[in-house]
């Protein structure tokens, strides 16, 4: 900690010591600078970024596709998969696909999606309500611990 000084003075001091004058915080008043080796400073910054990147968790979106006339056994398998994904901390996107004339009975598909949602209520919260997009109904669930 040297204190407040002019830019010219700081540059002369850095040159005298054979180091660089690095602006650390340009938005501060007055700007904060440091007299150090630029290569070493750059290395430390990269190391800090690498450590921060290591600690962060990437949330993936897992997709589960089903049809409105899904069998009970298949439904339970999809439900177990969704539970596993939510427990792992991933978001789950449920897609109810309609083919051909199935689209005329949207209420059947919506009933299956609502049943799926209700079965997962204690593990998840609804990020996107079920809505009809084209020939499919889409809903996104996220784990309870993660804020969307």
Per-residue model confidence as pLDDT tens digits over 13-72: 989 989 998 888 888 888 888 898 999 999 999 999 998 888 877 778 999 999 999 999
Q: Are residues 38 and 86 in the same domain?
A: no
Q: Are 102 and 68 in contact (CB under 8 A)?
A: yes
Does the pLDDT at position 79 exceed 90? yes
Query: Residue 80: its pLDDT value, please?
Result: 95
- Helix crossing, 106-119 with 72-87: angle to 10°? 50
- What value does the mean pLDDT take over residues 69-85? 94
Q: Report if residue 129 sits inside a domain.
A: yes
We report the CATH number of the domain holding residue 88 as 3.30.110.10
Domain count for the chain, please give it: 2
pLDDT the model gives residue 146: 56
Please check whether residue 148 lies inside any domain of the structure.
no
pLDDT of residue 148: 47
Same domain, 130 and 98: yes
- Structural domain containing residue 83: 61-143
Same structural domain for residues 86 and 135? yes
pLDDT in tens, 99-122: 999 999 999 999 999 999 999 988
């Amino acid at each position: 900690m040297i204190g407040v000084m002019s830019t010219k003075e700081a540059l002369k001091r850095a040159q005298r010591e054979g180091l660089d004058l690095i602006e650390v915080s340009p938005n501060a008043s007055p700007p904060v600078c440091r007299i150090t080796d630029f290569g070493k400073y750059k290395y430390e910054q990269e190391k800090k970024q690498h450590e921060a990147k290591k600690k962060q968790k990437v949330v993936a979106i897992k997709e589960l596709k089903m049809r409105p006339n899904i069998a009970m056994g298949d439904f339970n398998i999809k439900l177990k998969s969704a539970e596993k994904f939510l427990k792992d901390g991933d978001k789950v996107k449920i897609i109810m696909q309609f083919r051909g004339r199935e689209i005329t009975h949207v209420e059947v598909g919506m009933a299956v999606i609502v049943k799926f949602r209700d079965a997962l209520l204690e593990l998840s919260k609804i990020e996107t309500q079920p809505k009809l997009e084209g020939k499919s109904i889409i809903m996104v669930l996220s784990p309870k611990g993660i804020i969307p």
